[in-house]
Structure 1
Amino acid sequence: MKEIKELTEADPDQKVRVDSLFTAAQQRLAVLKESVNIKRNGGTVSLAHLDESKSAMDKCRTIIKDIIHYEDDDIDQKSANLDNSSFITTLFIVISALLSLIITAYFYFRLRADFLKRLALEKSLVEKDEGIARRLNLVQQITNRIAAGDYNVKAEDIEEDDLGAIAKSVNRMSKSLKKSFDQLKDNDWLHMGYADLYTGLVGNKTERLLTTDAIKGLVNYIGAITGAIYIFNEEKLERSGCYGLDPKTQLYFLPGEGYVGQVFVDKELKVVNNIRTEDYLVSFASGKINVPHLIFVPIVSADQVLGVLEIGHGQPFTEIEITFLTECARQLGIAIASAKVVPKSRHFWRKHRFNRRNYCHNMLNLRI
């Protein structure tokens, strides 16, 4: 009934019929419930109850027939409208075909005129061929270097003539190719990183194992020094997975406490550069190393912050690395949210099976 109400919400007439059907169904169920109670108490269901139940059921059938008839009429009306639209569409296609023929003829004569003009220009260019050949050889040498992969080459001797325009175009082409190949390289780097992250997130892992594998992969992939993932549990941000951090470092942060807590509250990425040597050091067997650059990325899923990703790097973070870590944090949010749901689902199904066994046992005792 709820689904029928949702389907007929936009139709006032059908809504009235559905409401009537709901009322009749409630009446039918009420009569049945009363009859069941009479039988349980050892009584006999009267003919009046049966007639009332039959009347309610007949009323439901009548309303359902009215609903079906109304929908059939509506479908017929829509089919008629569709036929009219098909005719208009056919007429529009014919008119469009005629217009396309006219446009084609127009452009044919125009292109023919342009072709004749080009023939005249070609004759004039042949006369200048000998003077242009030498400079074309220079341009050819530049393009050969570009073809060999040297995109930093540039034509320096550019004059204000046709060949000078070609040289400028070659320079623009070289610059554009360098930019395009750099973008392709960055995209390949991003996709490989995403693939490595997705591979680490696959599987029925616990929250701690998931974050440990993820932070290890992220730190190694971007060549960072340290990393940590803080998950919000029980009103505090708990360090769930880390890489390269001193075990004595702070394990918990409250919302708003430090950069971790502040990024969690603000839901905004934060990059900290040029940290002083004495402020952030990582110890290892041979001594200590400075971590001058940090990034804090909120881990968000369904507009809810689940934690914070922290990465420490020896070099300033590039735009491509920031883009990569932002997307990785989003994917981590989805994976962590799923990891949190799995234990709850298992608990629900255990409780459901337990309640079902108790229900069956109680029903068996009632029958006995």
Structure 2
Amino acid sequence: MYLKLNTKIILGFSIALSMLLLTSLTAYFSIQQLASSTRLVEHTYRVIQYTSDLRMQIRDAQSSLRGYLLTSDSSYLSHSEGYLPAVLVDYDSLRRLTADNPGQLQRLDTLRQIIDHEAKFLQHWRQVKPSADAAKGLLLSDRHTLERLRNVIMRIKDDEESLLSHRSARQNFFEISTPITLVVSAVLAILIVLWLFVKISNELKANARLQVELAQVNADTKRRIQIIEGLADRVVQGDYTVRIRDKEQDSLGNLATSLNRMTQTLDTAFGALENRNKELDQFAYVASHDLKAPLRGVMTVVKWIEDELPHELSEQMRQYLGMMKGRLARLEDLINGILAYARIGRTQHTLEMVDVEQLVQDVRELIVPTDFVVHTPTALPAFITDRLSLEQVFTNLMSNAVKYHGSGAGTITVRCTEKQKYYEFTVADDGPGIAPEYHDKIFLIFQTLRDRNTAESTGIGLSIVKKIIDEHQGSIRVESAPGEGAAFIFTWPKK
């Protein structure tokens, strides 16, 4: 099971801390047990000591009384009387020390009876007249009591010595095991810490090697991605012959193979498209020369008929000839519009600094009648762009504003709003307006809202405008309603 480095470090330190905690608890337990065993051994020694002292005190009391009976020295008598309180003090101490031992308490009860009997016995002999026979009688009379006293004290001492042996063995065990436990626990903790250190060091070295390998892979991947980006940039610039030499069997290699196939397909497709454009150019040439030449010939014939046979033409014939001239003029406008529409996007764009305010004024002077007012309520920008295309857009929009305005003077308003990456221009008029259901239709080629018999209504002007704006990656829309004029809003990139 794979664990992260942080998890391994935390796990290792947790084990080490657990071992240290276990070592501390073991040491604490061992020390406590050693201290307890030491106290018990000391307790046993005190019991034995008090037992020996008590027996010695009774023997000394008897010896002092015997000395009094032999020598008649009263000092021996006072000494004999002083030993009894000491005996009782030792007995009380033994009673406290063996309070948790029922067997010893029974023996101490027997001992107390002996002590009381001995006290009365000695008190009796203190009143006897001193003599050698009295001393001998004391010794012979107290022999049995002293033997009982010795037996009881020996049983007390034997029991305590048995406890002492057990407690000393336990004390010795903890004296030996406690240091060993401490050393073993410390060694285990050190070994765990060393193992943890080795594991962490190995992990860090492995991570360092992995980082080097990843850096190498990243550098190689970055280089290959830059090659792919270079291919994309060249494709954007129109070079479809570029190829990537990447034979690696991975995702980037597969992507490179797919991009190579894409560029090959694009190269083939755009080659075919170029051939179609050449054919379209050839068609435009034929339309402009081969179609317009006979068209002008027909118009010339009509003019000759009107000029040379003015008196022979009836009014109906004149009306027919006028209709023919209108149809011929409209056909010529259609041909010119088709040529203009076909040439959009296939001419070289020349970038230059364009003052839109001045451009609008130039267009106004060329196509706007004097009875129309061109109003610019907002400042129009100056920026580097394709002047010819932008001028053609303004020309068509302002021309439509005049053409479809109807009779009388009018007002054309041109305004601009600056956005982050483009300018938003508005060309508005106060004409008859356009119904909402026709807002999308008017941008289609040959679509017009005017009578098709009207010579100037070909339905190509707004199609040209939309195609130019699409070529420059902009957008156009109309906001209008019948009787409220029309506002054409289009965007134009800053760069």
Relative to the length of structure 2, the TM-score reads 0.24
**Which has more radius of gyration?**
2
